[in-house]
């Protein structure tokens, strides 16, 4: 919709914040409309998220995928850390049951697998550009300077770096792993002076974690 893109184009902040806020609002809705609705909402959120990225892509120049060996290494390393650290620290409260469509729609049913693959694709392809753009392109640089586009992606400021990583970490049930994860992704951005390597690392982490969840039936990670 050209009108929505025009709304985003009103300011660089709108282009980076509004899609993320919509995405988070849909995430909040997942746990408030019954056990089955959360899966349908996640699927809808993934499709809407893809559309939001399509709309913001021409307006956010740094939101471009990039591939490097460092990005691959960080992506794999963060996944190993996320799983390995899981039993060694207290988590934030989680009132809902693990996100397991097989427990709701039946083991190995076609509908259950639709939701599983939908989440795997959404977490790997939609979440990384959305979160990296918001946290490590917008929030980090805005904390340095309100006119954030004038702040290079590789400018190092320890205060904003720690705040951004903490905000990212505490948005997750696994808060400690989230903070470490945020610092690792940000290291890539500071090293490469671009967002794309962190997007790739984030995608690899989420994809591998999703495969681990499916293989090991460790649905609590979702």
Q: Are 180 and 186 contacting, i.e. CB atoms less than 8 angstroms apart? A: no
The pair of three-digit structure tokens given for residue 170, joined into one six-digit string: 């505490």
For the chain, the structural domain boundaries read 65-221
- What pLDDT, in 10s, does the model give residues 142-151? 999 999 999 9
How far is Cα of residue 86 from the mean position of the Cα atoms in its chain?
Answer: 19
Give the model's pLDDT for residue 28.
Answer: 87
Cα–Cα distance measured from residue 141 to residue 150, given in angstroms and rounded to the nearest whole number: 9
- What pLDDT, in 10s, does the model give residues 159-170? 999 999 999 999
Give the model's pLDDT for residue 62.
Answer: 98
The pair of three-digit structure tokens given for residue 130, joined into one six-digit string: 């959305």
Higher-confidence residue of 30 and 56: namely 56
DSSP category for residue 60: -
In 3D, which of 167, 115, 121, 120 has the Cα closest to residue 140? 167
* Number of Cβ atoms within 10 Å of the Cβ of 185: 28
Give the model's pLDDT for residue 30.
Answer: 80
Burial 29-38 (b: 16+ CB within 10 A, else e): ebbeeeeeeb
- What pLDDT, in 10s, does the model give residues 70-106? 999 999 999 999 999 999 999 987 656 789 999 999 9
In 3D, which of 53, 60, 182, 49 has the Cα closest to residue 122? 49
């Amino acid at each position: 919709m050209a009108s929505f893109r025009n709304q985003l184009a009103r300011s660089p902040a709108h282009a980076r914040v509004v899609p993320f806020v919509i995405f988070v609002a849909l995430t909040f809705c997942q746990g408030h409309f019954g056990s089955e609705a959360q899966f349908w909402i996640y699927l809808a959120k993934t499709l809407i998220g893809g559309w939001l990225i399509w709309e913001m892509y021409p307006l956010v120049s740094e939101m471009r995928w990039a591939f490097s060996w460092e990005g691959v290494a960080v992506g794999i390393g963060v996944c190993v850390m996320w799983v390995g650290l899981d039993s060694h620290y207290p988590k934030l409260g989680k009132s809902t049951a693990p996100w397991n469509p097989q427990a709701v729609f039946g083991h190995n049913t076609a509908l259950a697998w639709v939701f599983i693959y939908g989440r795997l694709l959404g977490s790997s392809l939609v979440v990384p550009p959305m979160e990296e753009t918001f946290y490590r392109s917008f929030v980090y640089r805005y904390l340095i300077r309100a006119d954030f586009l004038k702040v290079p992606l590789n400018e190092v400021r320890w205060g904003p770096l720690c705040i951004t990583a903490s905000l990212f970490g505490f948005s997750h049930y696994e808060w400690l792993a989230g903070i470490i994860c945020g610092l690792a992704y940000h290291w890539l951005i500071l090293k490469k002076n671009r967002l794309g390597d962190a997007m790739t690392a984030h995608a690899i982490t989420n994809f591998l974690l999703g495969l681990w969840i499916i293989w090991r039936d460790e649905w609590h990670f979702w």
